[in-house]
Each structure stands twice: as C-alpha cells, then as structure tokens.
Amino acid sequence: MAEHITIYTDGACRGNPGPGGWGAVLKHAEKEKTLYGGEEATTNNRMELTAVIRALECLKGNKWPIEITTDSKYVLQGITEWIEGWKRKGWRNASKKPVMNADLWMQLDELVQQFEINWHWVKGHSGHPGNEQADELANRGIDEL
C-alpha cells in the first residue's frame, strides 16, 4: 500500500455516564505517537468520538491517506452512513429529535473533510493489537483523572 497513516482509537467509560477516557495510536512508517485523556462526567460514545477527533487534530496539513480502525459501530456508522442525513435534517435524527453528541459530530465532520480516510471496524477486546493499545490508553485517561 502507498504511504499512509494508521490510527487506532477507543473510548472507555466507568459507568455510562461516568468518568471516561479516550485513547489513540497513530502510526506512520516506523514512528508511533500515542494520545489519551479523560473527562470526569461523560459517556462512552462521547469518548469514542473524542478519540478520533483528537487523533485527526494532530494531523493538520497531512497529505497521506489515513486508515482509521475503531471498535465503535456508533462512530463508524455515524461518519460513513448517518451524518449526511443528520446534516440535511438540521442535525435531527430519523425520529426528528436532536442528534446526540451533535457538537462532537460537527467537529468530526469538519475534520474528515480535510483528509482521505478509510474507515475500519474491529471487534473490541478481541486481541487486535492496535485496538488493545488504544483501549489501554483510554483506561489510562480515566485512571489519571
């Protein structure tokens, strides 16, 4: 494959809502960068979205294709299937209710416009090395609150 950046993301929450954390692993050639953080009162879905947002924010000006792997079907389906409909409907869902986490979806939407991204899903806690590393980072984000 041509030169690219690989990103693995994960979010975690102890209680939902509760204290949460997010983690991201960015890889390019032989280089690796890890990011993580946490919030006192949040949800798992917010942490999943935050992980992707924080990873992409680090790549401003990047021209290489990006491969993002997440264990969140919410993030994957939201960004690849649902978001265009939400935008057409004024950030309302199929039930005409406000989209949950619209603030983060809007940030993510703005960021993804800047990149060529291929999205991938992996089952969480299944031994996938990149996902397991992102999960460890997300939990560290909670532990260090």
pLDDT above 70 (res 138): yes
Length of the chain: 145
Active site residue 48: yes
31 three-class SS: strand
Active site residue 10: yes
Q: Are 93 and 99 in contact (CB under 8 A)?
A: yes
**pLDDT at site 61:** 86
Q: Which of 20, 37, 38, 71 is catalytic?
A: 71
Active site residue 103: no
Q: Kindly give the residue spans of alpha helices, DSSP state H, lying in 19-93.
A: 44-57, 73-77, 83-88
How confident is the model over 75-88, as a mean pLDDT?
A: 97
**pLDDT at site 2:** 62
32 three-class SS: strand
Active site residue 135: yes
Active site residue 144: no
Average pLDDT, the chain: 96
> What's the pLDDT band for 9 if we cut at 50, 70, 90?
very high
Active site residue 109: no
How confident is the model over 107-114, as a mean pLDDT?
A: 97
The reported pTM is 0.96
Task: Classify domain 5-143 at the CATH class level.
Answer: alpha beta
> What's the pLDDT band for 23 if we cut at 50, 70, 90?
very high
Q: Which of 32, 90, 103, 125 is catalytic?
A: 125
pLDDT above 90 (res 12): yes
Q: Which of 48, 78, 132, 141 is catalytic?
A: 48
Q: Which of 23, 78, 135, 141 is catalytic?
A: 135
> What's the pLDDT band for 102 if we cut at 50, 70, 90?
very high
User: What digits encode the pLDDT tens for the residues 48-68?
Assistant: 999 999 999 999 888 899 999
